[in-house]
Structure 1
Amino acid sequence: MLRALCPVETLYVGQRSRAVLSTALRGRVDAGALSAAFDAVTRAHPSLRTRIVPDGDGFALRLLDEAERPRLATRTGTEEDAWATELNTPLPVGGPLSRAVLVSAPEGEEHLFVLSVDHTITDGHSSIALNNEIWDRYRALVEGEAGPGAGAADARGDSGYSRHATASSASGAPDASGALKASGALEAAVEEPGWPVPVSRLLPDADETATAAYLARRVEETRAHPVELLPYDVPPGSGDGRIEVCRLTFDEERTTRLRHSARQAGVSVHALICAVLLITARRRLAGDEPRTLGCLSPVDLRSRLSPPLSAAVMVPAVTTHRQAVEVGGQADPVALARTVHARLSDFVAGDGPHHEMRITPEIPRNPALQLATVIATNMGVVAGPRLPDGLQATDVRLAPAREQYFPQAGRSPVMACVVSFEGRLAIEFPYFTACFSPSFVGALRDEVQDGLAAFADAAEPAAAPAS
């Protein structure tokens, strides 16, 4: 059975990028119950048990055989080694688009659960919701509740789910070996739980002329204002690299203070983070004069689709906003944050997000449409998993990883993945060691931390509201 990928989803096929979400745990974990919970979630979300296959001029998702579907893997090891190993273990080409691993310390009281999902079928919001759904089902199993995870499954409702396969799966489309599918494909398609509807099909109707004009304007903007990237500090040919992540964290009190300072300045926390990132990046370029830098902000589309999608729906429902700004060596972070905030707010308030999604197929031909000096994702404030008594989540992390890096390019954007689990800010800086060195990214992280801490610590303690 096939489900054709839409243009937005197809963009991720070549990137080989994935969301890597980890939950550090203290206490006893019933590996059998966790395995059953993961199996139940993969049954509820067909995309998790698929592979990507060619489909005409594009690609499609193809359900895996029962023996091939992903299962929970368990092993013994340390949290640090487990995180590094999973970051650097790709989802296999032609294999499952999801992986779940539980790594336990030898004494059995410390664990790390790592969930990896291909970005072709997920975004940050749905990967977080998926992780929480797994633990909801686990909690129901170990506490003996009937119908574990029913609430999470029911929350999908009709928001973007189809009870039938796409036309390609019902019409005898060739499978990976080129043979026609069996005549019972249509019956199987009807019985299969609903595929998530591609985001491209949920966009409102648009005037093709307006979309073409939007594309022309965007292309002209990128030509008129080319942005600078950060040069790699690792010499070419220095050997094989690996994915590492440098991390910045604030406790709940300092996070609350930062939000208060942002409100006082009339900007969002996201805009403030972007401004500090841009100024920190500017310090890595020569001279003191203004330089044109780019800031790319992913924008969640779920509330802007028809019907709106809940975070439980497993699709990449995100577009981007790119802006070019002039940043001098002595730039004022508040003024820069106000510029970033105003431009992003205008974009979100208008029809820009829908237009940006529609021109996605043009990105491979015009990569400058998404070229930026800094990329700042932001999931906002989200809840962590709800666990049974006797088991505690000591940390939750979300970081992107991909399989293709290009040291030979000599320069690239830097990425910051921002998420506040349970009201505590964390910024993950993923990088490839054949491009940027740990000392380079560590120094960048420290400067960003100092810049944000200056705003957080300027807030009066009494003025900071409760989280």
Structure 2
Amino acid sequence: MVIEPVTALERPLAASESAFALFGTPIHFGQRLHGRLDFDALTAAVEDQLVLHPVLSARIVAVAQGHVLRLDPSVPGPRLGAGDDIHHVGAPFALETPLLRVAVAEEGEEHHRLALSVHHAVSDGVSALTLLHTLWRSYTARVTGRPLLLPPPTTGLPGSVEDQFRARFSTEELDAFLADRAAGMRGLAPACIPALAVPDSAGPGAGVHQRRVRLSAEGFARLTGLAKAARISLHALACGIALRAVHSQTPHPDETAAMTCLSSLDLRRRLRPPMPPHEMALAATASHAVVEVGPGCHPVDIARKVLAQLREAVLNNTVQKAIAATAELMDDVAHAPISVLVSNLMTKTPPLCLPPGLTSDPIQGFALPPGPLPSVFLSGSQDGTAGLDITLVMASDWFTTGQTDELADAIERELHRALPE
């Protein structure tokens, strides 16, 4: 089954997309640039992306039945912004505003910071990061005079990935899945970091605390070596490290307790036909694992349990059924306590195509958490030469600055504790 593009200029959002529309959730990337930056070429490169992806010029509009995605050619599309303060780029998206923000700030002579955000309702980590890479391919071609080699442009508005997965299962299959899931979640009270902050009067998602833990290229090689020796994935190992760190910050760090870990999973390869990474769509979901974690648990042992549950979820179609039944799961997911979320963008970040004389620090990426769950994002270059960046994000509506600092310190401790000598 092929996801046919909707030729009309408006379509209703699917339940999975509407969940992000309610919070205005952005997927955000930031990077520091060193060297001469051609603002006109970068402006043109942003416009190239709007030609490739008309959906980025669309708006999300509230209607009586929920939300619709509306593309009106008469309304101006997003444009490159500039100024000293670009923190607004990572803020939640308001309704009826463009679904893309790009801005650049000068931090000194030939030193700039670029920020890019895409609305999560129409993108995922793969497509948003590919967009950033395509932006730089376009920029480099323009400043060097080389041929502009970009993916084929899309037309109209993309269809919903959720609809394709829902068509794969019968009502009876989804009802059985929902019943099994409810039974498995019944009575579960995972250990979590307590929410101590007073919600901001500006509303949910008004701000986040962000911390970064860096691992050198040499340290990253040791970490991947540990994962390989243990026959686990880097993502699963990161889950084990994050769960141990969160456990140390719970009210009872000396006790063994059940914990839940959400893992972001890319669904593009499971579509028919597979969806290429450049297509703007929400083609990802989150799968949860429940594991027992205690003060003496090693991250590798925790990782094995997480990986086993993730593999089972893929093999028995739990992942696909979860996104197909998003509408029925909305209330359940919104009120289910989660210990931590982990998203791995390492395999999605090949080296940037930059022109001679322009270099970039490692890309930082994250999505705003929709509730009281610490979120951990991994990024770095595909060849490992830049090491590993671990970005911790905690919503200021729920957690304090001190809690964020303490969890970042705990992640760093558990990371180095797990590394072999």
Instruction: Output the TM-score relative to the length of structure 2.
Output: 0.89
Task: State which of 393, 399, 408 in structure 2 corresponds to 1:445.
Answer: 408
Contact 1:322/1:369 (<8 A) preserved: no
Structure 1 residue 106, shift from structure 2 partner: 4.7
Q: Which residue of 2 aligns with 1:309?
A: 275
1:237 to 1:32, Cα distance in 2 relative to 1, 3 A: closer
Task: State which of 225, 230, 244 in structure 1 corresponds to 2:193.
Answer: 230
Residue correspondence of structure 1 range 230-269 to structure 2 within 5 A: 230-234=193-197, 236=198, 242-269=207-234
Mapped partners of 1:344, 1:31: distance in 2 = 44
Does 2:105 match 1:103? yes
Q: Which residue of 1 aligns with 2:175?
A: 212
> Which string of whole-angstrom CA distances, capped at 9 and with x for unpartnered residues, describes residues 117-176 of structure 1?
110111111110000111111111111134x2x3x323x7xxxx6xxxxxxxxxxxxxxx
Counterpart secondary structure, 2:209: strand
Q: Which structure 2 segments of 5+ residues have no match?
A: 1-8
Structure 1 residue 289, shift from structure 2 partner: 2.8
1:8 to 1:435, Cα distance in 2 relative to 1, 3 A: closer
Task: State which of 19, 36, 44 in structure 1 corresponds to 2:27.
Answer: 19
Over aligned residue pairs, what C-alpha RMSD do you find? Answer: 2.3
Q: Which residue of 1 aligns with 2:6?
A: none
Structure 1 residue 347, shift from structure 2 partner: 1.4
Counterpart secondary structure, 2:361: strand
Residue type of the alignment partner of 1:153: P
Mapped partners of 1:398, 1:98: distance in 2 = 15
Mapped partners of 1:38, 1:14: distance in 2 = 26
Structure 1 residue 205, shift from structure 2 partner: 2.0
**Which stretches of structure 1, 4 residues or longer, exceed 6 Å deviation after superposition?**
237-241
Counterpart secondary structure, 1:443: helix
1:238 to 1:303, Cα distance in 2 relative to 1, 3 A: closer
Q: Which residue of 2 aligns with 1:86?
A: 89
1:239 to 1:353, Cα distance in 2 relative to 1, 3 A: closer
Structure 1 residue 55, shift from structure 2 partner: 5.1
In the alignment of these two chains, the number of paired residues is 404
Task: State which of 240, 245, 255 in structure 2 corresponds to 1:289.
Answer: 255
Residue type of the alignment partner of 1:413: L
Residue type of the alignment partner of 2:102: A
Q: Which structure 1 segments of 5+ residues have no match?
A: 162-192, 406-411, 459-467
Task: State which of 364, 385, 394 in structure 1 corresponds to 2:361.
Answer: 394
Contact 2:105/2:113 (<8 A) preserved: yes
1:237 to 1:215, Cα distance in 2 relative to 1, 3 A: closer
Residue correspondence of structure 1 range 373-388 to structure 2 within 5 A: 373-381=339-347, 382-388=349-355
Residue type of the alignment partner of 1:200: E
Does 2:273 match 1:278? no
Structure 1 residue 439, shift from structure 2 partner: 2.8
Identity percentage of aligned residues: 27
Q: Which residue of 1 aligns with 2:142?
A: 141
Q: Which residue of 2 aligns with 1:417?
A: 377
Contact 1:254/1:457 (<8 A) preserved: no
Does 2:350 match 1:342? no
Mapped partners of 2:394, 2:122: distance in 1 = 23
Structure 1 residue 85, shift from structure 2 partner: 4.3
Q: Which residue of 1 aligns with 2:5?
A: none
Mapped partners of 2:30, 2:381: distance in 1 = 12
Structure 1 residue 66, shift from structure 2 partner: 4.6
Task: State which of 379, 390, 405 in structure 2 corresponds to 1:427.
Answer: 390
For the pair shown, which has the larger CA radius of gyration, 1 or 2? 1
Structure 1 residue 23, shift from structure 2 partner: 2.3
Task: State which of 152, 163, 168 in structure 2 corresponds to 1:201.
Answer: 163
Contact 2:55/2:156 (<8 A) preserved: no
Q: Which residue of 2 aligns with 1:115?
A: 116
Contact 1:3/1:61 (<8 A) preserved: yes
Structure 1 residue 239, shift from structure 2 partner: 7.8
Instruction: Output the TM-score relative to the length of structure 1.
Output: 0.81
